[in-house]
Amino acid sequence: MINHDYNSLFKPKNIAIMGASNNIQTFGTMHLLNLISGGYEGDIIPIHPKQEKIAGLKVYKSIKEVPTQVDLCLMVLPTKIVVEKIQECGEAGVGSIIIVSAGFKEIGNYEEEEKIRNIAKKFNINVVGVNCIGEIIPASKINMTPIPIYPEPGHVALISQSGTYACHTLISNQDLKFSKIISLGNETCLDIVDFLDYCRSDEETKVIGLYIEGIRRGKEFFEAASKTTPKKPVLALIIGSTEAGSRSALAHTGAIAGQSNIISSILKQTGIIQVETGLELLNSLMCLSNQPIPKGNRFGVITVGGGPGTVFADLLEKNNVKVPKLSEELQEKLRNTLPETAGVSNPIDITFDRDWGNLFKKVPKLLLKSPEIDGIVLYGIFGMGFFSKIIEGSPIDLSFMKYNEEMADMFKSVVSKELKGLINLGKKYNKPIIGSSVFRRNDDFIIKFCQDNGLPVFVLEDSIKPVINMVKYAEWKKKLAKN
Amino acid sequence: MINHDYNSLFKPKNIAIMGASNNIQTFGTMHLLNLISGGYEGDIIPIHPKQEKIAGLKVYKSIKEVPTQVDLCLMVLPTKIVVEKIQECGEAGVGSIIIVSAGFKEIGNYEEEEKIRNIAKKFNINVVGVNCIGEIIPASKINMTPIPIYPEPGHVALISQSGTYACHTLISNQDLKFSKIISLGNETCLDIVDFLDYCRSDEETKVIGLYIEGIRRGKEFFEAASKTTPKKPVLALIIGSTEAGSRSALAHTGAIAGQSNIISSILKQTGIIQVETGLELLNSLMCLSNQPIPKGNRFGVITVGGGPGTVFADLLEKNNVKVPKLSEELQEKLRNTLPETAGVSNPIDITFDRDWGNLFKKVPKLLLKSPEIDGIVLYGIFGMGFFSKIIEGSPIDLSFMKYNEEMADMFKSVVSKELKGLINLGKKYNKPIIGSSVFRRNDDFIIKFCQDNGLPVFVLEDSIKPVINMVKYAEWKKKLAKN
C-alpha cells in the first residue's frame, strides 16, 4: 500500500496543485503562494477547470492534460470530489499526493477514506492526509502549508498529527532548522510509523519530534520506535490524556480517545522522551540537533545572577540532573581566576565580575575540560546594547562619559570573539552548552547571533527542560549500552 | 527598629547617592544614571569626597554638608566604610537607606551587619539591604538599580531576595506594570515580613510576588501571609529546595539551607501560591493584576488550531481547571453561529472559520455570558501582518491579488474593533480572558496592542500556568468564605 520511494514526496521535480485560485483568501491559494515565495525551483502546475492563469502560472484543466509526469500533487478540494481526483492522479502516474481536504473520518465519513486507501494501493501512490496541513521540506525549498514560514535546512524532523503544531506554532521558535516537517492528518494511508521508519535512516535527520493524538498501529509503532532511539533521539508530545483533551482529539483527527496512558508506557519502553508542551518540544529539539549528547548527568551552572543560578540548580536537581559540588582542586582553579566575591562551588556565580573573558572563556573552559562536568548551562548571554538606554534616556548631556563608544567596542568584541570562542570550546570538548538570557531573538541581536552560530539560547528557566531532556536521552543510551 | 513611615523610601523628595562617579562602569554610577534617565523629579544629590561634579550634578563631600533634609540615601560603597557612613546619615536625619554594598553575612561577616542594625535602630532609619540591588518605584519615577528598565506604574508588587529577579529578569516581560519592586538582599533590618505587611494595605498594590531563599521570622511571616491572602493574591517562587540550590542560596544571601520544605508548607497553609519558575511568576502576576479573579474553575478554550486546543485542555484538566463539555443548549447556540466544521463541545475549535467576529466576539460572548463558564483561554491572537510575507517574498508579480490592501484593512479592523470589543466583553461579564499566540511583544504589534490594553497574551502553552494560578487563588478565596 505504500510506495516507499519518497523522492516524489520530498524531492519532487514538479508539483501540481488542485484547489488554488486567484482568490488569496482560500487555503489552496495560500499553499500555492507559499510554495512560490519559498523559492521552490521545480515546475509548479496549477490544475483548475476554469481559470487560464493562476498567480501568473499556466493552468491545466486536469492532471491528465499535463504533458510531463507529475511527482507530487497537493489537493485542497471539496470533500466530495477528492476520490475522483485521486483516481485521475493514479491514472496519470502521480507519485505522491498530499490531501488537505477535510470532512472524512473525523466527522464519521469512513467510507470515502476507504476508497482513497484502495486507489492509493492500486496505483502505488504515497498519500499523505487527508485532513492535514501539508509539508515543509527546507532542503527542497518547499513550504506547502498556508503559513508563511521558510525555515532553513537542518537536522530536525517533525512528524505531527496536528497541522497547527506542524507549521503555525513554529513561528514561536524562528531559529529551528528542519530536515522535514510532515503533517499527518487522519493518516488515511501513510502514518506515523511510516515516517518514523523513514526518518530513522534519513541522513539529514538527527533528531525527531512527534505530536501524537493516537497510534493506529501499536505493534509496528513499538518496533519502529525501538529501532530508532538507539540511533537518534525521539521526543513526543502526547495529547488527549484527559477527558476534555480526548474529546478534542476525537473531533480533530478522529483519534481514538483514552489511548494516552498506553502511549506513554510505549514511549517509556522504547526510549522516546515525552514532553509536556510544544514549546518544550521545539526548544529540546533545537538543543539535541546542534549540541553533543552529554556523556552523563553532571552539569555546571555558570551565572551572572545568584537568583537564576539557584533556581536553575533546583530545577535541574529535581529532575535527575546533578549540579555537583566541584572538587577542591577545581574550585581552587576557579578561585585563582575569579574575584573574591565569586561563588565557585557550582553554581559558579560571577555576578560582580565584569570580565567577559571569565564568563565566556576561562570558567567554561575549566568546567568543560574537567571530567567532573558533562555540560554547561550559562545564564548571562546579553549584548550590552540595551545599556545605551541609560544614556539615550538622560535629560542631562552625558556624552562626556564616552559610554556609547566604550560599550559598542565591548559589545562588538563579545559578539565576534568571546561568544565564538565559547561555541568553539563546546565543539573542542564535545560537551553541550545551553545559553540563557532575558532577551529573545527579536529583542537583542546577540541572541540571533548565538542561535545562528549553533549556540541555543532561551529565556531564563526555559533553558532547563532541554537540558533535562538531553540527559534523559543520554541515560537511555547508557541503559542500552549496558544491555 | 523600623521607621514604618515609608514615604522617605517610596516617595522621597530627594535622593542622595554615595558611590557614584563619572566612571560609567561602576554599579553606583549605573544606579545614578538610571535614576536620571528614569525621570525622577526630586533632587538628586551625589556624595563624593573628591569630585566636584558627577553626571553634571553638584556634589557634596559628605551627607552632613547637604543643606536640606535628605529622605533617601543609596549606598554603593566599599564594605569597610558602610557602617561609618550610616552613622553619618543617622546624624544627618536621613529617613531611609538602601545599601547595595556586599561583603557581610553572606561571607561570614556578621559583626558589621549587627552594627548596622544598631545604628538603624538608634536613629530610626528604614534600612533596605545590605547586598541588595535597589528599588524600582514607577509612580515616583525611581529606578535605583543598574538595569535600564523603566516599567509603567501598575498594581504588581515584587519583593525579592534575589537582586537579579528584582530587576534584570523583568526585561523578559516588558509589559508588566508595577507598584513597587524591592530587592531585599541580606535583610539586615527590613525584611520580607515588613514589606508583605506594607503591601497588604498599599492601595496601589493588587497582587504580590515574592522570591524567597529563606524566611528569617517564621511566625511573623505566617501571620503576615494569613492576613494578606484574603485581601489580595500572593505568589512565591521558593528557591534552594535541593542540595545544590541550598548551597547556592547560602553563598548568595546567607540564607539558611534546607528551609524550603518548611516554607512550602507555610505557603500552603496561608494560601500563598507557589510557582516553579520566574517566568511563571511574572506571567501569573500580570493576569492577576489586570484580569478579574474567576468565580470558579470552569474554563472555555477557544482555538483556531485543533492541536493547541487539545494540549491546553489536557494541561488545564491535569491541574484542577475544568474544560467542561458544554450543555446541549449552549452547543446549539454555537452551532448556529459557526460553520459546520467547528468543534463546539469545548474546546471550541474554529480552525477553518475565517470570520474574526466569531473568534473575538460571538463565541467569547456566548461563553462569557453563560453560567457554565468562569473564564476563557483564546488561542488565536494574531495580526495578519505577517501574511504579507507571502506576497513580499514572491518572485512573481502578485499585486493583482490586492492582498496587502485587503489584509491591511482586515488587520486594522481586528486591532481597533474586534480586540477592543473582546477586552470590553471581559470587563462587562467580569470574567478573565487569557490570550495565546505564536508571537511575542517584539514580533507582532498586535501583541503589544493587547497587552497595553489590558489583555494578557502569552506564547502557546505559556498561557496555561497563569490560568491554573488564578484558579488556585479563586479556590483559596472560596475555602476562606466557607470557614
Over residues A86-139, the pLDDT tens digits come to 999 999 999 999 999 988 988 888 999 999 999 999 999 999 999 999 999 999
Q: Which set of grid coordinates corresponds to residue A139?
A: 532542503
Partner B contacted by A459 (CB < 8 A): yes
Residue B388 has pLDDT above 60, yes or no: yes
- Residue B286's identity, in one-letter code, is M
Partner A contacted by B385 (CB < 8 A): no
Q: Which of A166-170, A290-294, B123-127 has the lowest mean pLDDT?
A: A166-170
Partner B contacted by A42 (CB < 8 A): no
**Cβ-proximal residues to B125 (8 Å cutoff; 6+ apart), any chain:** B3, B86, B89, B90, B94, B95, B96, B97, B119, B189
| Helices A464-482/A306-317 angle, 10° precision | 30
- Residues from chain A that touch B440, judged by Cβ atoms under 8 A, are 172, 440, 442
Residue B138 has pLDDT above 60, yes or no: yes
- E-strand ranges in A380-466 read 433-437, 457-459
Contact status, residue A238 vs residue A191, Cβ threshold 8 Å: no
What confidence tens digit (pLDDT) does each residue in A409-448 have?
A: 666 666 668 889 999 999 999 999 999 999 988 888 788 8
Angle at B479 between CA B475 and CA B483, to 5 degrees: 170
> What is the DSSP-derived secondary structure letter of residue B71?
S
Partner A contacted by B258 (CB < 8 A): no
Q: Which set of grid coordinates corresponds to residue B320?
A: 484542577
SS3 content of chain A, % helix, strand, coil (to 5): 45, 15, 35
* Interatomic CA distance for residues A10 and A359, integer angstroms: 44
Residue A258 has pLDDT above 70, yes or no: no
Query: What's the mean pLDDT in A299-325?
Result: 95
Partner B contacted by A404 (CB < 8 A): no
> What is the DSSP-derived secondary structure letter of residue B298?
B
**Cβ-proximal residues to B140 (8 Å cutoff; 6+ apart), any chain:** B10, B11, B12, B40
Per cent of chain B over pLDDT 70 is 90
Which residue is it, cell 517533525? Answer: A158
Per cent of chain A over pLDDT 90 is 71
Partner B contacted by A281 (CB < 8 A): no
Contact B244 A395 (CB under 8 A): no
Element of type H or E holding B160: strand B153-160
Torsions phi, psi for A277 (to 5 deg):
-140, 160
A435 strand-pairing partners: A378, A457
- Three-class HEC string of A97-151: EEECCCCCHHHCCHHHHHHHHHHHHHHCCEEEECCCCCEEEHHHCEEECCCCCCC
Q: What is the pLDDT of residue B414?
A: 67
Residue B1 has pLDDT above 50, yes or no: no
* Interatomic CA distance for residues B272 and B295, integer angstroms: 18
Contact status, residue B368 vs residue B425, Cβ threshold 8 Å: yes
Query: What's the mean pLDDT in B73-85?
Result: 97
Contact status, residue A215 vs residue A253, Cβ threshold 8 Å: no
Partner A contacted by B324 (CB < 8 A): yes
- Across A260-269, A440-449, B150-159, the highest mean pLDDT is recorded for B150-159
**Cβ-proximal residues to A463 (8 Å cutoff; 6+ apart), any chain:** A312, A377, A379, A434, A435, A436, A457
Partner A contacted by B278 (CB < 8 A): yes
> Which of A444, A443, A438, A429 lies closest to A460 in space, CA to CA?
A438
**Cβ-proximal residues to A340 (8 Å cutoff; 6+ apart), any chain:** none
Q: Which of A62-66, A359-363, B242-246 has the lowest mean pLDDT?
A: B242-246
> What's the mean per-residue pLDDT of chain A?
90
- Residues from chain B that touch A403, judged by Cβ atoms under 8 A, are 24
For residues B50-87, one letter each, b for 16 or more C-beta atoms within 10 angstroms of the residue's C-beta and e for the rest, the string is eeeebbebebbeebeebeeebbbbbbbbebeebbebbb
Query: What's the mean pLDDT in A453-477?
Result: 97
Omega before A347 cis (within 30°)? yes
Interface test with B, best of A40, A107, A311 (most B CBs within 10 A): A311
Q: How many CB atoms lie within 10 A of CB A483?
A: 4
* Interatomic CA distance for residues B392 and B90, integer angstroms: 66
A238 strand-pairing partners: A212
Q: What is the pLDDT of residue B458?
A: 96
Interface test with B, best of A21, A248, A259 (most B CBs within 10 A): A248
Contact status, residue B404 vs residue B376, Cβ threshold 8 Å: no
> Which of B411, B396, B406 lies closest to A38 in space, CA to CA?
B396
Q: What is the pLDDT of residue A1?
A: 41
Q: What is the pLDDT of residue A348?
A: 95
Q: How many residues does chain A have?
A: 483
Interface test with A, best of B311, B372, B410 (most A CBs within 10 A): B311
- Residues from chain B that touch A409, judged by Cβ atoms under 8 A, are none
Could you tell me the sign of the dihedral formed by the alpha carbons of A371, A373, A375, A380, in that order?
negative
Residue B106 has pLDDT above 70, yes or no: yes
> Which of B243, B268, B236, B275 lies closest to B257 in space, CA to CA?
B243
Q: Which of A61-75, B21-35, B139-153, B421-435 has the lowest mean pLDDT?
A: B21-35
Torsions phi, psi for A197 (to 5 deg):
-60, -45
Partner A contacted by B81 (CB < 8 A): no
* Interatomic CA distance for residues A462 and B135, integer angstroms: 26
How sure is the predictor about B212, in pLDDT bands with cuts at 50, 70 and 90? Answer: very high
Contact status, residue A14 vs residue A42, Cβ threshold 8 Å: yes
* Interatomic CA distance for residues A62 and A79, integer angstroms: 17
> Which of B154, B43, B89 lies closest to B32 in space, CA to CA?
B43
* Interatomic CA distance for residues A223 and A270, integer angstroms: 8
* Interatomic CA distance for residues B380 and B303, integer angstroms: 6
Report which of residues B351 and B330 the model is more confident about: B330
* Interatomic CA distance for residues A187 and B102, integer angstroms: 62
* Interatomic CA distance for residues A364 and A423, integer angstroms: 10
> What is the DSSP-derived secondary structure letter of residue A461?
G
Q: Which of A64-78, A233-247, B14-28, B69-83 has the lowest mean pLDDT?
A: A233-247
Partner A contacted by B315 (CB < 8 A): yes
| CA-based nearest residue in chain A for residue B254 | A306
* Interatomic CA distance for residues A336 and B403, integer angstroms: 63
> Which of A319, A296, A300 lies closest to A309 in space, CA to CA?
A300
Q: What is the pLDDT of residue B422?
A: 95
- CA dihedral in degrees (A154, A156, A162, A168; nearest 10)? -40
Q: Which set of grid coordinates corresponds to residue B372?
A: 457554565
Contact status, residue B402 vs residue B458, Cβ threshold 8 Å: no
- E-strand ranges in A389-479 read 433-437, 457-459
Angle at B194 between CA B188 and CA B198, to 5 degrees: 145
Distance from the Cα of A22 to chain B's closest Cα (Å) equals 7
* Interatomic CA distance for residues A356 and B270, integer angstroms: 44
Residue A16 has pLDDT above 50, yes or no: yes
> Which of A226, A180, A266, A211 lies closest to A6 in space, CA to CA?
A180
Q: Which set of grid coordinates corresponds to residue A235?
A: 521526543
Query: What's the mean pLDDT in B156-181?
Result: 92
Q: Which of A122-131, A294-303, B435-444 has the lowest mean pLDDT?
A: B435-444
Omega before B459 cis (within 30°)? no
Q: What is the pLDDT of residue A288?
A: 98
Contact status, residue A293 vs residue A432, Cβ threshold 8 Å: yes
Interface test with A, best of B248, B348, B467 (most A CBs within 10 A): B248
